[in-house]
Chain A
């Protein structure tokens, strides 16, 4: 089996942590709980780190089994497939959300006109190809572009310090508003649950879990920095800016003479968006293959494309509807996938491990 290294896994974690959080999210969270949204963010990230710990423990207990095999042993094949099917749905809509956020950015800053069909035609062959090539090929590509993406994000952050910024006012929103803000946008989180679906393809040596945590902390640090700098720069007008990372590059009038540096944000965001779409589609296809065992990854890719085109272009139709769908309905589903399922997986895997150790001692 073609596996990926701990470093490549870490980079996948890094890329997924940035997914859906560096463009629209700072703005929409500000609407709910002002700059105190950062506290909601810290709380969710703390829980996500716990989920990452759960993943590493499950991986340690079941180094060579995939998620279906782990669950099948304890709760039977039907429940195992239901759990994986839940992930399948989760990653299908996750891809749609990521695509919508990327599309809004490109439409606002690059094309001005609707170009939905063109975007799909350009993006999906590349994404499909990456998924068919497999996780190892994707992991190597991510490794190659990791520093480019990192420098791009840091550059956008750094440039923001050349304009007038001042610390935003904290402790303005009530705890209820902060909780509400986190809850409403919970679907934007839980992206590295994809790791549970790739669990058998990850090769981890003893002590390499730290590497994954390192990349997770880098991702969390960048997201928090983007939120803080964005709120410091825009303050009360943060709700008007839909593309946080790109808007950090917008200069005040004094700097107009330098010209537009948007291209750096654009390349960074497009690269990030493409990689995130690849990871989420790969997670969908992995779930699909585990649920429908007799079908290969190529069928999974074809089914994904058909579902995406039908649901997105025929039913949802507009990216704005996708965003409101994610905040109005998918949040309940996200509670299941982001909170309940990881705990359930941990409980089942841990129980199985205990039983095994009891059998050994008997």
Chain B
């Protein structure tokens, strides 16, 4: 029974945490992009426009949810919900802080610790394409349809890239559990360089690029290319249903940033000192700091790079990233083999 209560608390907390994160994330993105583009950005609602997202959310809540007459109603309504649920599910396996020990009971700051955590991530992100595909199809309209066909092709391609980028991490740490991967990144090389998986630099770069494509963000936002497809898969959506898609997209951005932190940047690893309370809070602080830096990197890239052409996107994925990651996997395997068994000529 206590297990159920703990799980309930964790899930509720994760939900609230993600919603608040999205509120902050949208505001940070708009402010940061407007700074980069020499604009002012939102500055009316609240100090520095910090309440702008909340106001937009409230507005979406009260707007009419239009259903096109040619839509397949059931799927049309289900698609945004599925999209949101999958984005939420992805977050559940990410450890956001060091385990906390209170009165001899150890509480992990992670909703669930799966021994196939990495595969779970891949499974969720491979299913996420259905929400977009079905949203586009069930709208019964041309532009959403084109957007969703693009989306499925793009997400399948970069799904493979992402999976291959994760293989060296699993080989290097020897585990698929995300909390164990973070544990494996504790400590330092030579006393001062953190022992993070970022030493697998090609994997790190490839994973980040695949992350851009998986979240359908610039420079890979062909799925919702405004100039060509009006709004892509969500053209026909309005009101709260559109807001759900929007929410899911931003949760996914945060998820990818948090995953990058967990897999490559040591997760919650960082200097911990001071009284007990500070020791509980500091790991989470390091985790959030790293994650938000990655998020800012996402925003920076969005403001800097133009959108790729569709054939460039496909060529880049299949002819450059996949061969590169395969070569890197073989190289990592050979290096790890040397480390474990020694050189064959010795």
Is chain B a partner of chain A in the same complex? no
Q: State the B residues within 8 Å of A (CB).
A: none
Q: State the A residues within 8 Å of B (CB).
A: none
